[in-house]
Structure 1
Amino acid sequence: MTTYAIGDLQGCHTQLNALLEKIDATAPAAHLVFVGDIVNRGPKSLATLRQIYALRERARIVLGNHDLNLLAVACGLRKSHASDTLDAILAADDREELLTWLRHQPLALEEDGNLYVHAGVLPQWTAQQTLALSREVEAALQGDDWPDFLKKMYGNEPARWNDALQGADRLRCIVNALTRIRFCTQDGSMDFKTVEGAGHAPAGMVPWFDVPNRKTESSTVVFGHWSTLGLLIRPNLLGLDTGCVWGGKLTAINLLDRSTIQVDCPQHQKPGKKN
């Protein structure tokens, strides 16, 4: 079966429809995998979320930081930012159905040797460890006390993984790695401030995927999150956030032959902090 991986949507519903039309013209009923940040900052977050939900028989997603932010705002645990575009979701009649489905989605998944995450993977994690750690977070997010998990999820510490981490610190570190990482040191210490492209690494750091001997090198890691990085295609790495909401493109890539399909996007957010 043909599979297309699709970069960050961020509520750009018109561009999603245009992209799906192009995909269906090339490979009708292709399997779709979205690499997170389905909603927020674009103009039609509710319509985008509803469409992905309607596509769930042929599509899978991993959660991004903006998707988790939606859940936290919906719980009253965080206030909407000025750039958020979540109000229509929060007021929708089908809000609970959509949010319940959303919080039951994974932070990492593997299909056909491809490892999908929103932002990245710590260099000391294998693909199987990444999936196992993702399941720990998913269990908390899908449990009865999931708002309590979200309440403790935010923060930059611990910035370095340790197998002995427990409780909220352990889950927070996993979430930050899978949904926020861009740069890190060789021992996996993460930076959360720098949002520029790969050439702007903080001192002593490199893009997470360039750490020597990264333990996921035997898998193809497919990710988004990093709009200033742009489209990145390597034998074992696919970066798909091409800045749709910032006036860039929405990108899909065929996992079989690496051919790309792109749609031009108008700018919906002014240049600024891209996370």
Structure 2
Amino acid sequence: MATYAIGDIQGCYKPLRKLLKAVAFQPGADELWCVGDLINRGPKSLDTLRYLRDIGDSATVVLGNHDLHFLALYYECTPDTLNGRHTLDELLAAPDCNELADWLRHKPLAHHDSVLGSRGVQNYLMVHAGTPPQWDLPTTLARSAEVEAALKGPDFRKFLNKMYGNKPTRWKESLTGRKRLRMITNYLTRMRFCDAGGKLDLTIKEGINQAPDGYRPWFEFEQITNEDTSILFGHWAALDGVTQRERVHALDTGCVWGRELTMMRLQDHKLFSV
């Protein structure tokens, strides 16, 4: 059995299937971990979601910002200014859209597990965007669980409606309600740059050399890899898979922008791309 972690698919269904064919992926025997942003921007969001749903327990998914945006669109929770900013019409009109949305709504924002490989047992945390400097592994999983509970709960539409926005910009344990859930969501699904105290700048989407004064890529501050855990993430195509950190693995290599879809076999860290 092999476990693969794949970067942002974003509706690029044909490259997904081509990549899985190249490694002879077998649902039921192998596992596919997806770092989020399964859909939007690419041409085949509906086919992508159906495939990942249909392979059942062979797919482990965390939510990205585009996945959350789809949920907000489907449940009519988006601000009016964002309603037209998507390529999801086919998915939204599909007869099984309700089933797909419900399946996605019950996915987490963070996944932690161990894999036995050539280097012995290796621990992994998978998130879409990153983790802030002040959160260790147990804190990250606990904060993620707060958003997961809101998404699964009876008032999930209220959460989806209030998740948009760039403020607050810094974590405080005293945060409550929509501000607390939005802060957690922004860290785990939208973050690129922050300062040493975890203050976010969500306006810059380019590479590392575009960091605002006083800010650095979040993975230059994180503490989780000091706890014998490696981090898998996507979201930041401008990195082109490079972090310069041995145990922080950037898997979004910009397939939807005409570059590559990349997958890493967790047992030996071998990369596969199409």
TM-score in same-fold range (> 0.5): yes
Q: Is the contact made by 1:2 and 1:27 (CA closer than 8 Å) also made in structure 2?
A: no
After superposition, the C-alpha distances for 1:59-98 in whole angstroms (9 at most, x for unaligned) are 1010000000000111222255655211111111111111
Which amino acid is 2:257 matched to? W
Match of 1:208 in 2: 218
Query: Which whole-Å deviations, capped at 9, do the CAs of 1:117-166 have from their partners, x for residues lacking one?
Result: 00000011011111111110000001111111111111111110111111
SS of residue in 2 equivalent to 1:57: helix
Which residue is 1:72 aligned to?
A: 72
Shift of 1:19: 0.8
Q: Percent identity?
A: 48
Contact 1:36 1:118 in 2 (8 A): yes
SS at match of 1:92: coil
Change (3 A) 1:208 1:249: same
Deviations 1:176-228 (A, max 9, x none): 000000000000001100011112111000000012x6344322010000000
Please name the residue that 1:91 is paired with. Answer: 93
Q: Which moved more, 1:77-86 or 1:113-122?
A: 77-86
> In 2, distance between residues paired with 1:98 and 1:27?
19
Cα distance in structure 1, aligned partners of 2:273 and 2:5:
12
Distance 1:137 1:145, change over 3 A: same
CA 1:84–1:156 in structure 2 vs 1: closer, same or farther (change >3 Å)?
Answer: same
Asked if the contact 1:24–1:30 (Cα under 8 Å) also holds between the matched residues in 2, the reply is: no
5+ residue gaps in structure 2? 115-122
Gaps spanning 5+ residues in structure 1: where? 264-275
**1:261 and 2:272 correspond:** yes
Structure 1 contact 197–228 (Cα < 8 Å) conserved? yes
Query: Who is 2:54 aligned against?
Result: 54
Q: Does 1:184 align with 2:194?
A: yes
Task: Give the Cα–Cα distance (whole angstroms) in 2 for the partners of residues 2 and 54 of structure 1.
Answer: 19
Distance 1:144 1:25, change over 3 A: closer
Q: Output the TM-score relative to the length of structure 1.
A: 0.91
Deviations 1:17-54 (A, max 9, x none): 10110122699932110000000000011011111111
Deviates more, 1:155-164 or 1:100-109: 155-164
Which residue of structure 2 lines up, in the alignment, with residue 267 of structure 1?
Answer: none
Query: Does the 8 A contact of 1:125 with 1:216 survive in 2?
Result: no
Aligned mates of 1:185, 1:140 — CA distance in 2: 28
Q: Which residue of 2 aligns with 1:268?
A: none
Determine if contact 2:130/2:191 at 8 Å carries over to the other structure. yes
Q: Normalising to structure 2: TM-score of the pair?
A: 0.91
| Residues 1:141 and 2:143 are matched in the alignment | no
Residue 125 of structure 1 aligns with an amino acid whose one-letter code is: W
| RMSD across aligned positions (CA) | 1.7
Deviations 1:201-256 (A, max 9, x none): 11000000012x63443220100000001113642110000001001100000111
The alignment partner of 2:198 has SS state of: coil
Cα distance in 1 for partners of 2:272, 2:32 equals: 13
Q: Structure 2: how far apart are the matches of 1:47 and 1:148?
A: 28
Given the superposition, is the C-alpha separation of residues 96 and 226 from structure 1 closer, same or farther in structure 2, using an over 3 Å criterion? Answer: same
Counting only pairs closer than 5 Å after superposition, residues 18-33 of structure 1 correspond to structure 2 as: 18-24=18-24, 29-33=29-33
Alpha-carbon spacing, 1:57–1:162, altered in 2? closer, same or farther (3 Å): same
